[in-house]
Structure 1
């Protein structure tokens, strides 16, 4: 495992921590034995080989001595660099995106998950045809005597991939429509949706299992959860909510995966409350939280959506840090220190979730002109309409809503 540390780049995290995360990624693939890991410091990237000629030769000798079969580079590697390094070292090479795609392909279980991974892999593969084929200059002959030079191999391969992408997108469109039907059905049921989000291996699935009694796969492993799971939970107040477990985020998440998993991540967009689960015992917990915030913003999660921060894995910190974290969390609004493994602090969190949905509601009757169809649809989607009458000038609506819902509606 090689982690390029480029001096010109101002990375958010320390290269040693980045390397440790990359090794954990490799360990998430079954049958993988990591023989060595190294931070390679570079003044700049070399366009042809990524590394300088001296480093390439040094690594070649080491790989031959240790009988290395696969080299993982924790960062982007261009198709040309990948082809040149594989030829020079005589090994297979994967960059960060390729490794994450391999993990997702191994871990996907539902039909939707398999399709999403396949779509992401094809999008990635399409950009790397230059590496996969060494006969791109060959051309197939034309038809008859007046045929042109014909189609190059790379064009044929690219077209085949494009055809597959179109087919998978059609199948995923059906999944999106099905999900939308499920969401529409849930909107008619007065159960709020609470979504768990966070960095991969922050403990979301363990928290989900602890709160719901479900048996979702929960391991100390990156990307243990790929397929979203939803369960009903009865809170201490007796109120019922739907808890949604989602795929974990990671720094430099490949754009192909963000696009492919958008249908799954849309569950977060529909949430009434987001629980941002953080591994508070991790040395770069703050940096991980910043990565999650960036990805949520890129997905279009509304700033108006309430969010609680859950500092998980209290059981992994020493006694002094443990007590300090609890005091910090209690002093801040919407921050909760818990251990999903032992259940510590969970009651306080669930009570706060219950209180969040017990906001004071006010009744109001208003008349909305027919031209305000968007606002009218939003009111019904939020389930705040008690009664509706049609007048000549528009709809007359009896509403019961919270101050937050009113502010959102007036901002439309």
Structure 2
């Protein structure tokens, strides 16, 4: 390209000097600056005199002389007419800024000169860096949150799913492409009937231009159904036009199960409370004694037995108990340890069996403590065995005072009926010369 004449150079110099961007002219042989316009000087902080002794690589901390010569070789050889590249300039005070360089070479045959038009892009790079940092933070949040996030376009096709969404649905983003997300994971009711997209509260957020939230049931890739809680919100562009929908969803299967468990537990607590109150009422009504003090004592003992049964059940989360534990707890409360013999295989009791059996054993232990073998150095032997699916338990007292059959029915007789009814078993009592023998039989 012909080099400008002297007059043209003068005019060009004035234009260049006042240009808004940074403009540099430097020789093709010595590479010293011939012209650095006002904008460049003010940004760099150097005077004309200082710049006249400097070369391009003096301003570029990332490019050495050798690297610069290699960079401009395509211009010198004529392989290209212009080079565009980004680099960093260093000011006189040591600060640096990003620049975009357009470099050309002019040659009129007598002399050659390089022309560089430079744009300060520091602000752009800072904005880009901030956007990248923001994008990285958002990506990290979306990829690490347990909330499933879907981004839908105006066709209600899914154009983004985070990791939690893929885990929730069993589908990858690629597997949902080309059709509405509703048709992939939300197309059928749990009863198998079709679920039209027109009836879908999630998808209505787009045509109705309003957010929606609630609970729904999704269909997993494996065909299973699972409940979810969702929020669907329309996405607006700069002109407030609806261009898509963002959907947040989370699996609430555990919450639903816990709710069912809570309801069941509340029902069970209510049932057990009513049952305990009925037992308390029955104990209070049926307890007999010769005096008020004796009545209080007997009543307190029976309530303690009931409390031990309740505590035993509660300690095992109301899942039942072991027969040996029930026997031991009642005898420990009323009989000396050296007057008790307990033996039998491991037998698990249901919650419904623990309470009546505890009450019955309490009555037997109370009688043994007041009138029987536990009172006078005798022995109470409680043994049991299994016969197919039935427990055969025997209470046998020996070595105590003589015993006589009661002359009237009392609380023990009522217990007999209670055991038969609640344990679905039988009870038989014999007042032998050596002591009381009680045989209890019930299924497990």
Provide TM-score, normalisation by structure 2: 0.19
Q: Which has the larger radius of gyration?
A: 2
Relative to its length, the structure with more strand (as a share) is 2
Provide TM-score, normalisation by structure 1: 0.20
